[in-house]
Copies of this chain bind each other. A is one copy, B any other.
Amino acid sequence: MQFFSSDFKLGILGGGQLGKMMLYETRKWDIQTKVMDASAEAPCKIACNEFVQGSLMDFDAVYDFGKDVDVLTIEIENVNVDALEKLEDEGITVYPPTKTLRTIQNKAVQKLFYTDHGIPTAPFTRFAYTSEIEDSINNGGLSLPFVWKSAQFGYDGQGVKVVRKMEDLKELPNVECIAEKMIDFKNELAVVVARNAKGEVKTYPVVEMEFHPEANQVEYVICPARIDDAVAQKAQEVALKVSEHMKHVGLLAVEMFQTKDDQILVNESAPRPHNSGHYSIEAAYTNQFEQHIRAILGLPLGKTDSKVAGIMVNLVGAEGHTGEVVYENIEEILGMDGVTPHIYGKKQTRPFRKMGHVTIVDENMVRAREVAQQVKETIKVVTKQ
């Protein structure tokens, strides 16, 4: 059956901004889509052919949703994998495969996967409960400071905390977790790897996260990363190794640290289009959303090179503003060359909420970086006065 046939149906679990950007591509190729999300206000509600409201963690909801689709994919990895396994058993094509999802969903399992397959990653210890950590420190099995990560549901930086003193432990939930060695890194890098069902593999260029010097927050995602070719090659090789062992189908975004002595350590991976690949919509020959669709439908992968330099700036809610959103000075940034804002369509802002992103493209990286800074200093995500 061909993907553009009216008999073919693609299911997407999750109806947020990633799903919304995937839907541009399904519309471009006239692919019939069905989307499920817990919220009746999900951005995907329009632009899909069929919308179902339901919890992604609920077995019955996911199973019932997936029964009549031909290919089922996700825009978020926190979904009911038991239901996906049952669907897989019954012949529904599920990409990423449930095995990949199981490995990635649990951070302890994910870290063990890296060490088991000889993939460099920061040293860590797994704990069944946070309460076990204190004993381990007292017995000399672990030393402060370290990075605490909840094993489950660690989406978008939640469930991650730096523990510097014993008291910090008291604020943490008592759940399965890992304690990871703090890495003194020079750069945070990411590589998006695409892999289709036939095993064809392509990598996007290495991107670099530039941090705010004081706030220690990612300010810019820069493609290509401003690093040595040798380091870029090593990062690509490591990402390909993760891809090879994960046997994912679709995209795999591999986040890595470049240490002070130019080692590459895998931080974590996501089996889907990813924030670090948003720049590709404007900069790459094939954007990450089209590439994900190509991969899961078993189509040939598109060219991953960039046409121009690309920088992505996240639009997050300003501090002190909670309520109906206003994008202050959006017209000013629209007047800057090569600047494209993406508004996710959330009506309410709150401090640090991800409300959209802006891409800056230019033939010249230095100029792109200058414009990116102007964008950052100009647009503000605030509330109505």
Contacts and interface: CB of A to CB of B under 8 A. Distances in A.
A27 B47 contact: yes
Main SS at interface, chain A: loop
Contacts of A342: 28-29
Contacts of A24: 24, 27-28
A33 B6 CA distance: 26
Interface string A286-309: 100010001000011011000110
Interface string A177-215: 000000000000000000000000000000000000000
A331 interface: yes
A30 B343 contact: yes
Interface in A99-143: none
Contacts of A347: 6
Number of copies: 2
B27 A327 contact: no
Contact of A29 (B30, B49, B343): B343
A20 interface: yes
Contacts of A285: 337-338, 361
A331 B299 contact: yes
A326 B27 CA distance: 17
A153 interface: no
Contacts of A338: 285, 303
A4 interface: yes
A297 to B, nearest CB: 9
Contact of A307 (B30, B331, B361): B361
A347 B294 CA distance: 22
Nearest to A339: B302
A54 interface: no
29 contacts: A2-B326, A2-B327, A4-B327, A4-B330, A6-B347, A23-B27, A24-B27, A24-B28, A28-B340, A28-B342, A29-B341, A30-B43, A30-B344, A46-B47, A46-B49, A47-B47, A285-B337, A285-B338, A285-B361, A286-B340, A290-B340, A302-B334, A302-B340, A303-B337, A303-B338, A307-B307, A307-B308, A307-B361, A307-B363
Interface of A: 2, 4, 6, 20, 23-24, 27-30, 43, 46-49, 285-286, 290, 294, 299-300, 302-303, 307-308, 326-327, 330-331, 334-335, 337-338, 340-345, 347, 361, 363
The 9 closest A-B CB pairs, nearest first, are: A300-B335, A30-B345, A30-B343, A307-B307, A47-B47, A303-B337, A300-B334, A307-B308, A299-B334
Given A20-B27, A29-B343, 8 more contacts: A23-B47, A29-B341, A286-B340, A299-B334, A300-B331, A302-B334, A303-B337, A307-B307
